[in-house]
A and B are shown apart, each in its own frame.
Chain A
Amino acid sequence: MRRILVVGASAAGLAAAETLRREGYDGTLTLVGDEPHTPYDRPPLSKQILAGEWQPERLGLCTPADLSALDLDLRLGSAATGLDLAGRTVQLADGTRVPYDGLIVATGVRPRKLPGEGAHVLRTLDDAVALRDRLKPGRRLVVVGAGFLGAEAAAVARGLGCAVTLLEPAPVPLAHAVGERVGRVLSQAHLDHGVDLHTGVTVTGATEDGVQLADGEEIEADEILVAIGSVPNTEWLAGSGLSIGDGLLCDTYCAAAPFVYAAGDVARWHNPLFDTSMRIEHRTNAAEQGMTAARNLLRPQARKPFAPVPYFWSDQYDMKIQAFGQLRGHDEVAVVDGDPAARRFVALYRSGERITGTLAVGMPPKVIRQWRQAVATRTPWREAVPGTVTAVETKEVVSGGTLPS
């Protein structure tokens, strides 16, 4: 293999490129990115960048010297527009064609939008800077969507002295992801910090003066942030013969076709640790999957399944929320340590008979790592949470838990 092409120059694509070089690949390495910026980190966009605490230069995922050492054929500001699988060529927006022997797809996701003009989204550095420049004390910000991104932005905006209204269609924010009890604890933090939280509210679009709700009401705003989830960037692969379905479909090795791998937010693959199909929009997964895709592409005879314990964190107000494993689709949640009312606790998530996830707020790292280990080793629920039944139904319990030995 003498020509490897990585499409997508964010965390997953860069991790793949770095891994290829670290593992001895010395052929042509082309890295294509649709943004004009060299690879940068996204999680701080809704945190330190929005808060104005960091300048954009601080986001670089590698130093100019390290980037130069990778000896890349770097094509920035040029999106991929098509793939010829049989001809092993990718078409770029600038009209050039890039031939490859091996391809890694890491084109990420883009934000869902609402009808109407003038609303912000928050995915790129340019998005974050544009919103940051508009957040001043006393400005009225409406955030549509109380997921992790919307919640982080709301917290930052309150810190900047904005009047923040947070609109969420579900009765309890994040309940589908973390369960109702934990969702309530996390939303209480917004109320305690003076956010005007409206749940069960459907927004139909942005207007000149604010947002329009499905019941006809209008909520006035100076700025609107839409944080209602993302769409995988797979349109450029349409008609290529690759399988698309909420992401680029891959096998357990992150392969979408011979010599074609995918990594990061765009990739849907089978995680054998949880025996389920996953597509994960978290920073840690981007790096880990980029590394695995690169290794599996480089060493076809020694491929390894990609079997991570997913991880994400979120910073809101004084809370650091950390979660490991698969929380969505859980059958049961148990708070096993700490006090949710004090926003200092560990929750465990059960799917079937096993612990499949854990979420912690404000707990010591050793405690969190031990519960993460319980997820990684597929610990039976009843070993860790005595006295609870394992009926397959959604319920929430509070009990003491013991760490598995």
Chain B
Amino acid sequence: MRIELDEPKCVAAGQCVMASPEVFDQRDEDGVAIVLDAQPAAELHDGVREAAAICPAAAIHLVEQ
């Protein structure tokens, strides 16, 4: 799995951090999401898929390999 973040779309909701705190964080200054690990380990994939699905800006795109 590879994570692509469309940063200008991010609305800083932080839903991804709550769904998958190992993989996502937010910038302090504006809350925009940060991908900590763009190719996360398999055991984190469910959380990442949840994060992508609940992102209110549809800013997280997953390329499943």
How far is the CB of A148 from the nearest CB of chain B, in Å? Answer: 14
A287–B53 touching, CB < 8 Å: yes
A19–B15 touching, CB < 8 Å: no
Task: Provide 25 A-B residue pairs closer than 8 Å at the C-beta atoms, listed in order of the A residue.
Answer: A15-B53, A18-B53, A19-B53, A41-B58, A43-B56, A43-B57, A61-B58, A62-B58, A63-B61, A283-B56, A284-B13, A284-B15, A284-B56, A287-B55, A291-B54, A313-B12, A315-B11, A322-B12, A364-B28, A364-B29, A365-B14, A365-B26, A365-B28, A368-B31, A369-B18
A288 in contact (CB, < 8 A): yes
How far is the CB of A13 from the nearest CB of chain B, in Å? Answer: 13
0 or 1 for each of B44-65: is its CB under 8 Å from A? (1 = yes) = 0000010001111110010000
How far is the CB of B46 from the nearest CB of chain A, in Å? Answer: 10
Chain B interfacial positions (CB closer than 8 Å to A): 9, 11-15, 17-18, 26-31, 49, 53-58, 61
A2 in contact (CB, < 8 A): no
A311 in contact (CB, < 8 A): yes
How far is the CB of A366 from the nearest CB of chain B, in Å? Answer: 7
Would A313 and B26 be within 8 Å (CB), given that A43-B56, A284-B56, A369-B18 are in contact? no
A288–B14 touching, CB < 8 Å: no
0 or 1 for each of A32-76: is its CB under 8 Å from B? (1 = yes) = 000000000101000000000000001011110000000000000
A365–B31 touching, CB < 8 Å: yes
A134 in contact (CB, < 8 A): no
Max chain B Cβ within 10 angstroms of own Cβ: one of A18, A19, A61, A313: A313
Query: Chain B residues with Cβ under 8 A from A284's Cβ?
Result: 13, 15, 54, 56
Bound-state CA distance A250–B53 (Å) is 23
Query: Chain A residues with Cβ under 8 A from B27's Cβ?
Result: 365
Name the CB-closest residue of A to B26: A365
The 8 closest A-B pairs by CB, nearest first: A365-B26, A365-B31, A284-B56, A283-B56, A61-B58, A287-B54, A364-B28, A365-B14
Interface residue from B9, B15, B31 paired with A320 (Cβ < 8 Å): B31
Interface residue from A288, A320, A364 paired with B54 (Cβ < 8 Å): A288
How many residues of chain A are within 8 Å of chain B by beta carbon? Answer: 27
Bound-state CA distance A288–B54 (Å) is 6
0 or 1 for each of A9-22: is its CB under 8 Å from B? (1 = yes) = 00000010011001
Interface residue from B11, B14, B53 paired with A368 (Cβ < 8 Å): B14
Would A322 and B53 be within 8 Å (CB), given that A61-B58, A365-B28, A366-B28 are in contact? no
B53–A313 touching, CB < 8 Å: no
Chain A interfacial positions (CB closer than 8 Å to B): 15, 18-19, 22, 41, 43, 58, 60-63, 283-284, 287-288, 291, 311, 313, 315, 320, 322, 364-366, 368-369, 372
Bound-state CA distance A61–B55 (Å) is 11
Name the CB-closest residue of A to B31: A365
Query: Chain B residues with Cβ under 8 A from A60's Cβ?
Result: 58
Bound-state CA distance A19–B50 (Å) is 10
Bound-state CA distance A390–B45 (Å) is 44
Name the CB-closest residue of B to A15: B53
Would A41 and B57 be within 8 Å (CB), given that A365-B28, A366-B28 are in contact? yes
Bound-state CA distance A60–B53 (Å) is 14
How far is the CB of A235 from the nearest CB of chain B, in Å? Answer: 28
How far is the CB of B36 from the nearest CB of chain A, in Å? Answer: 14
Name the CB-closest residue of A to B25: A365
Bound-state CA distance A315–B31 (Å) is 13
B11–A313 touching, CB < 8 Å: yes
Query: Chain B residues with Cβ under 8 A from A41's Cβ?
Result: 57-58
